[in-house]
Structures are given as structure tokens and as C-alpha cells.
Structure 1
Amino acid sequence: MKASEILDGAAAVIERQGWHWGYFFDTEQASLGVPARECRVCMVGAIHIASGRPVDARIHHKNPGRAYRAVLEHLDLLTGSVADWNDRPGRTAFEVITVLRAVAASEREAGR
């Protein structure tokens, strides 16, 4: 799957399920029996779902590849992480979705 498809898919996941911050998925929803893949998710969780990778406590040890790196490059996060950017106070779902769509468009233009 191309990075652009994963990133568009990640935006769609957040639009469908809702956005979350503080953890990769909403553990409160999960404690009520909602599968992690169906809970509200952060940007990293959404990228994992869109790429077909698991969403669980080990998520930060896995890298979904080009899509994740493209977001890092777009946000110019040389020393930070996508999760930290997602969790910044004042961040909104709209900002997260906008970045995912913008990076998807750039990746599509590059043929990725």
C-alpha cells in the first residue's frame, strides 16, 4: 500500500472514529469493550490502523514505514515524535486531519 493511501486512510479513521490524545487509542472506550481498532485514536494509532498494523501497547516500538516518516518530515520533527505533536496542548482533530491530508497529497504527487 502506498504512503498516500495510508495517510488518506488515517485521516478517514479519525473522521469516522474520532480523535484522541494522550495515548494511541482511547483506553476508556477499550475498557468498555470497544476493540482498540474501533476506538478514538491519535495520529499514530490512525496510521497503524490504515496500514493494517496492530494498535496496542507496543505500538510505539513499531514503525509503519514511509507514511510515518513522511509525517515526521512534513512537521520537521527531527528530534520529536508524531505522538508528541499529536498530544501538544491545544491541538485539534481538524489540525491532525489537515496534516494527514496534506502529507497524503504530497506523497501522491511524489508517486508514493
Structure 2
Amino acid sequence: MKPSEILDAAANIILRDGWHQGTYFAFEPHDPREVCEEKNRTAPCCQAGAISRAAFGVALREGGLKEATDARVLAFSRASHYMLWHVQQTYNVTPIEWNDRPTTTKDDIVTALRGAADDARRAGE
């Protein structure tokens, strides 16, 4: 997948599964080693979780990239970079901080993901 495709897919994930603030996705197991794959694939998630889910099929957390292909990791990294650049240029803050602000809405997130995807497309990605 290209970074632009990941970002468009992330916007669709937010629209389909819902948006979340405060953590990567709405389901947080009591034990960090406990993983509920279904919730990881379908629970509402923040913009970073949606980008991860779009790239890898699940909202990966630290250490989860070990099983991903190099091409997938690179596309995910580039998509995250475009989102970072877009949000910093628009709101002068990081995407994670902006995602969690009380004034940020689901529509804002979807618009920013689509804007970042457009930036990536203009760059040929």
C-alpha cells in the first residue's frame, strides 16, 4: 500500500469503527500482554490507531512491528509522517496531542487524514 492509500483507509476506519481519544483504541485489556484480536481490529481508535490498523490490519502497539514486512513498515512510517506534517502545519501541534484535545472532533480527524492523504498523493506517494 502507498502512504496515501493507508491514510484514506484510516479515515474510512474512523468512519466505520468510530473515533477514540486518550488511548490507541477503545478496548484496553487489564494485562498489556492480553490481546483481544477482534477488538483490536474493530474497536473505535485514535488517528494513530487507525493508521496502524489501515497498514497492518490491527492497531499495533510497541513491539508489534516485528511480524510486519519492511515495505509495510515503510509505508506506515511515511503515512504517519504525512499526518504529522499535515497536523503540525494546520494546528501547530502533534497529531496525538491534537487527537486528544477536547475541541477536536471525529470530523476533524477524518478531514485531517484525507488532507494528509492528498499531501502524500501530491508527492507521488
Q: More helix by proportion, 1 or 2?
A: 2
Tell me whether 1:52 sits opposite 2:25 in the alignment: no
Deviations 1:53-104 (A, max 9, x none): 6424427x99730010111111227x95321111011110000000001111
**What's the TM-score once normalised by structure 1's chain length?**
0.82
Q: What are the equivalent positions in structure 2 for 1:1-112 lying under 5 Å apart?
A: 1-27=1-27, 34-52=38-56, 54-58=58-62, 64-76=76-88, 81-112=94-125
In structure 1, stretches of 5+ residues that fail to align are none
Q: CA deviation at 1:13?
A: 0.3
In structure 2, stretches of 5+ residues that fail to align are 31-35, 67-72
- Distance in 1 (alpha carbons) for counterparts of 2:109 and 2:13: 11
**What's the TM-score once normalised by structure 2's chain length?**
0.74
Q: Percent identity?
A: 38
- Distance in 1 (alpha carbons) for counterparts of 2:46 and 2:99: 7
Higher Cα Rg: structure 1 or 2? 2
Number of residue pairs aligned between Structure 1 and Structure 2? 108
